[in-house]
Structure 1
Amino acid sequence: MFRFIPRRLFNTGLFLQQESSKLIKSSCPAGTVLNVNVKKSGKDPIALEDHEYPAWLWEVLDKEAQDRKLAQDPLKLRKKQIRKANRARIKQNNFLQQL
């Protein structure tokens, strides 16, 4: 139905960084041991300063930023809409089968 054609887009990181006026602060101070180690021989990660993290990290949970990003790429937006409709249809069919 749809064919995926890879293409390279221009980096808009600086543009988005200037655009966002909200400054989100980290939930823990720099230098804090995070205690999220999952490997037996691994080391616990240490929190960094806010400016040391990449800019995209602060927009991951921001719904408005994600919606703006999806609006720029209509194929991704349509794919997400189809996936959401399919999940709803599957849940509805599963519910009806239980009756």
Structure 2
Amino acid sequence: MLCLRSSRILIRQSASSLVANGCFRREFHRSQFIQKEREQKIEANKDMSDGPSDAHPASSVLAGTILKNLNIKAGGVDPVAKEDNEYPEWLWTLLDAPASDSRTALSRSRKNAIRTSNFLKKK
């Protein structure tokens, strides 16, 4: 390969010829490894899920308790806690952290890395 020759020869070569000769070609892509990791996590989660999947955590407040300072209307009264089964199922998933391999989590981490990099370049 031309990449392994001395620096004088590399300077004379154009960038397009270096790419054509394979000097900057990537043999492995990160996406291949991410996909394999996701598949392994999914298989591991299937193996671990022996119990019911719709089980939710118990409420921290007993039914019938008046929830003070949660009134959102000017003339309204404070709400009263209900039984856990009276709440919709999606309510129990609100406080769960998003999956680390989800598209939004990956996008957020990429944006934060770019912001950090840009901030460090300013100084």
Tell me which interval the TM-score lies in, with the shorter structure as reference length: 0.5 to 0.7
**Matched residue pairs, number?**
71
> Gapped runs of 5+ residues in structure 2?
1-51
Pick the aligned partner of 1:30 from 49, 63, 68.
63
Higher normalized contact order (CA 8 Å, seq sep 6+, divided by chain length): 1
Q: Which runs of 4+ in 1 moved over 6 A?
A: none
Which structure has the larger Rg over C-alpha atoms?
2
Displacement of 1:59: 2.5
Match for residue 110 of structure 2?
85
The alignment's TM-score, normalised by the length of structure 2, stands at 0.45
**Which TM-score applies when normalising by structure 1?**
0.53
After superposition, residues 32-51 of structure 1 pair within 5 angstroms as 32-35=65-68, 36-51=70-85
Cα offsets for 1:34-88 (capped at 9, x unmatched): 121243223211111011011122233334xx53xx97xxxxx334312321123
1:1-99 equivalence runs, <5 A: 18-20=52-54, 22-35=55-68, 36-63=70-97, 66-67=98-99, 77-97=102-122, 99=123
CA RMSD in angstroms comes to 2.7
Q: Percent same amino acid at aligned positions?
A: 37
